[in-house]
Structure formats: C-alpha cells, structure tokens
C-alpha cells in the first residue's frame, strides 16, 4: 500500500475496467452513478460500524468491511476522473 501512487491506481483501474462486461457501454452518467452507488454502500457500512460502537441492535460490520467500501469509492472516483480526462496534474 505504501508504494501505491495515483498513477499505479489509474493504470490498474483502466486494465481491470476493460475486463468488465459492458465496459464499452459505460459513459459519464453511468460512471457518476457508480460513484454515488459506492458512496451509498460506504455510508451504509459506516452506519453499521456506528451500531457496533454504540451498542445498537441490528446488522453490524467490522472496520475491514468499511475499508473495502472506501476503496470502492476511491476506485469509482478515479474511473470517473479517467473517463473525463482528469489527471493528477489537473486535479
Ligand atoms: Mg462497494
């Protein structure tokens, strides 16, 4: 993780995205909705983590699950940025 840079993340995302079925059909709207969806999943995971912290009954998660959703948000944001031609120099 310490060696991860925006450039290596971008390259990994581009490669992985091209392996997804329907990749060529994704556009700005799709990618923006993907960011929103992943942000919602992160919010849900954080809510469940707060349940643990406060002793509230219901479905709970651990910090690793929150970290996974956080990574999904970062990846989806980078894919949207890549689609729009935004580089780390431009951001
Ligand atoms: Mg997710």
Tokens representing residue 78 in the block: 């980078």
Look at residue 2 in the predicted model and tell me its pLDDT: 66
* Domain-embedded: residue 39: yes
Which positions ≥6 away from 84 have C-beta within 8 Å? 28
Q: How many domains does the structure of the chain reveal?
A: 1
Query: Could you list the residue range(s) of the whole structural domain that residue 43 is in?
Result: 26-91
69 Cα: distance to centroid of ligand 1 (angstroms)? 5
* Domain-embedded: residue 14: no
* Domain-embedded: residue 2: no
* Domain-embedded: residue 66: yes
* Domain-embedded: residue 73: yes
Look at residue 1 in the predicted model and tell me its pLDDT: 60
Q: pTM, whole model, 2 decimals?
A: 0.86
C-alpha of 82 from chain center: 14
* Domain-embedded: residue 32: yes
User: Along the 91 residues of the chain, how does pLDDT read in single tens digits?
Assistant: 667 888 899 999 889 888 989 988 999 999 999 999 999 999 999 999 999 999 999 999 999 999 999 999 999 999 999 999 998 776 6
Look at residue 6 in the predicted model and tell me its pLDDT: 86
Ion ligand 1: protein residues whose beta carbon lies under 5 Å: 38, 41, 69, 72
* Domain-embedded: residue 91: yes
* Domain-embedded: residue 49: yes
Measured CA to CA, the distance from residue 71 to residue 57 in angstroms comes to 27
Instruction: From 1, 21, 23, 4, select the one nearest 79 (Cα to Cα).
Output: 23
């Amino acid at each position: 993780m310490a060696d991860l840079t925006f450039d290596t993340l971008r390259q990994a995302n581009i490669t992985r995205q091209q392996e997804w079925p329907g990749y060529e059909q994704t556009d700005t709207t799709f990618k923006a909705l993907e960011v929103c969806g992943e942000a919602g999943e992160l919010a849900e995971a954080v809510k469940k983590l707060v349940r643990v912290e406060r002793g509230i009954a219901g479905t709970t998660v651990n910090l690793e699950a929150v970290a996974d959703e956080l990574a999904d948000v970062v990846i989806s944001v980078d894919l949207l940025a890549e689609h729009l031609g935004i580089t780390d120099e431009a951001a």
